[in-house]
Amino acid sequence: MIIAMDYDDTFSKDPDGWAHVARAMAGRGHKIIGCTMRYPDETDGMSTLYGEVCEQVHFSSRVAKRDYLASKGVVPDVWIDDRPDFIVSSARDLRQEQEEFERMEKSQSEASREYTRGKLTI
């Protein structure tokens, strides 16, 4: 079984704990790989333990992790990730969705304030 493990806010939250899990699974014959949304040059602050317990570490450069790994011929059976949305969506896509949501929320908030002040015109 191939197990893909995220770094930020997953492995980084408890490196020793996740290293223990990764080693236990590798000891049972499973392949542990790392997959992060980071760019390859964004390794500052990353625990070296991550590279030690993962057979490979992939940097998807904000591209959806599933698509990125598939392009490399890697198809994980199990994902360990605090943000499962990044497995199937690129960070750019999600950022655009978040910005649209925030614009809509701001617009609704402004309309609500105007209505409260009695200035709403239809």
**pLDDT 10s digits, 89-99:** 988 766 666 67
Tell me if the pTM is above 0.85: no
- 95 shares its domain with 56: no
Segment 63-79, tens digit of pLDDT: 999 999 999 999 999 99
- 121 pLDDT higher than 70: no
User: How far does CA 10 lie from the centroid of its chain?
Assistant: 9
**Contact indicator for 96, 103 with CB cutoff of 8 Å:** no
- 64 shares its domain with 95: no
The two tokens of residue 70 are: 């598939």
Average pLDDT over residues 28-42: 96
- 118 shares its domain with 62: no
- Mean pLDDT over the full length of the chain: 89
- 120 pLDDT higher than 70: no
CA distance 105 to 101: 6
The pLDDT of residue 51? 97
- 52 shares its domain with 102: no
Domain of residue 74: give its range.
2-89
- 26 shares its domain with 37: yes
Q: How many domains does the chain have?
A: 2
